[in-house]
Structure 1
Amino acid sequence: MKPKGTRNAGFEERRAELLARMRTRLMLRDAPRPALRELASEAGCSVSTLNHYFGKRDDILIAVFADSGRRGQGQFAATRQAGQDFETSIRDAAAMAWQALTRHGVADALAMGMAEGMRNRQLGPAFIRTMFEPFVIALTERLDVHVARGQMRAVDTRMAALALASPLLLGTLHQSQLGGAHDYPLDGDAFLFHVIESFVRAYRAD
């Protein structure tokens, strides 16, 4: 007899399979936020099965957020690595973030997390903790290196990291998830150059 509380063999594999199916549905553009029953249908299982593997709907979302955070570990690691030259390092970090947002589905994941987490006392903090703040922390660590070298002004580097990350995120959401590209198109390369140049001028050590 299996001891009480022991999980079945293949529990984590089955959970990951269900999570991947639901993640695909949650990140669909132009689709309303799915109810628990719809998530179960997308996963090809019953609501009781989802309850067994995850818990309530909010628990599923928290698991999706955590999965997205794990997927971003490579990006976070690369963001921490400061380049030798301040301006080049900032350009590389911003370009890498912009590419992830616009070409690799990161903006879709962030938009989903923001939509689900907004004004939700459980999901909002979970989204910040697992999906957004890890990038801000990694970028802060990159900036700390430049401050230590005397290449960047001695400022609150976490605030500076937010000052660099925020317009990139807003620009992407404006154009894609919010549909701004149709009526208010933005030259992505010019926008990225503007953000980088503005940041470098503001924070470069004299």
Structure 2
Amino acid sequence: MRSKGARNARFDERRAELLGRLRARLTQRGAMRPTLRELATAAGCSVSTLNHYFGRRDDIVMAVFEDSGQRGQGQFQATRVAGPDFETSVRDAATLSWTVMTRHGVAGMLAMGMVEGMRDDLLGPVFIDRMFEPFVIALAERLETHVARGQMREVDTRMAALALASPLLLGALHQGELGGAKAYPLDGEAFVDHVVQGFVRAYRAD
């Protein structure tokens, strides 16, 4: 007879394995809200198995949101820590954001979250809470440090964080998930520099 702890460990291990396959299917290009049966096929299991480990389809998507938020904790933590001077600090945060979105698959995760969450009263708020807002909050905390140092003018730092994050997100989606890189390519480094310069001019303390 196996202990309860051993059973729980096996459950968590199997759930994590399924979650990885489900995340891959949900972020697959052209996925467009796969059905529960399609998710089960991608996970290599039955619908009843998915129900056992996750619940309904919405529960699966929310589990992927939660997992993605946990995976982003390193980026969020790095984003919180302000650099010594305002412009370099903003540039470092923007470059990190652009890099993880365009080179590490984060833009694909965000695109999936938007597809699943748009106009959905359940999934939309969960996507914002688990995947998007933690980055905005971390960036706002970084900016608050610069306000406290007198390097950045006093503003609503959450609004300022959104003003910095939004063009980076749109640019990453434009180039990758929307296929804009083929017909309308952007020089990523130049684009980040453009966004950073505009932000610094707008928010630097006089």
TM-score when normalising by structure 1: 0.95
Counterpart-to-counterpart distance in 1, 2:163 and 2:151: 18
Deviation at 1:181, TM superposition (A): 1.6
Question: Where does residue 49 of structure 1 map in the other structure?
Answer: 49
Question: Where does residue 130 of structure 1 map in the other structure?
Answer: 130
Question: Where does residue 90 of structure 1 map in the other structure?
Answer: 90
Which amino acid in structure 1 is aligned with residue 173 of structure 2?
L
Question: Where does residue 103 of structure 1 map in the other structure?
Answer: 103
Matches within 5 A, 1:135-174: 135-174=135-174
Counterpart-to-counterpart distance in 2, 1:7 and 1:171: 46
Counterpart-to-counterpart distance in 2, 1:144 and 1:103: 28
Gaps of 5+ in 1: none
Which amino acid in structure 1 is aligned with residue 112 of structure 2?
M
Deviation at 1:33, TM superposition (A): 2.4
Are positions 1:176 and 2:176 aligned together? yes
Deviation at 1:135, TM superposition (A): 0.2
Name the count of aligned residue pairs: 203
Deviation at 1:31, TM superposition (A): 3.2
Which stretch has the larger CA shift, 185-194 or 141-150? Answer: 185-194
Which amino acid in structure 2 is aligned with residue 198 of structure 1?
G
Question: Where does residue 36 of structure 1 map in the other structure?
Answer: 36
| SS of corresponding position for 1:176 | helix
Q: Deviations over 1:38-66 (max 9, x none)?
A: 11111111101111111100000000000
Counterpart-to-counterpart distance in 1, 2:88 and 2:189: 16
Percent sequence identity over matched residues? 72
Deviation at 1:105, TM superposition (A): 0.5
Counterpart-to-counterpart distance in 1, 2:200 and 2:162: 14
Which amino acid in structure 2 is aligned with residue 31 of structure 1?
A
Give the helix-richer structure, 1 or 2: 2
Q: Deviations over 1:151-179 (max 9, x none)?
A: 00000000000000000000010111111
Coordinate RMSD, CA, aligned: 1.5
Which amino acid in structure 1 is aligned with residue 17 of structure 2?
E
Counterpart-to-counterpart distance in 2, 1:163 and 1:102: 19
Counterpart-to-counterpart distance in 2, 1:30 and 1:54: 24
Counterpart-to-counterpart distance in 1, 2:183 and 2:167: 19
Q: Deviations over 1:13-56 (max 9, x none)?
A: 11111101111111111333211001111111110111111110
Question: Where does residue 115 of structure 1 map in the other structure?
Answer: 115
Runs of 4+ aligned structure 1 residues displaced above 2 Å come to 6-9, 30-33
Which amino acid in structure 1 is aligned with residue 180 of structure 2?
G
Which amino acid in structure 1 is aligned with residue 111 of structure 2?
A
Counterpart-to-counterpart distance in 1, 2:12 and 2:86: 43
Question: Where does residue 63 of structure 1 map in the other structure?
Answer: 63
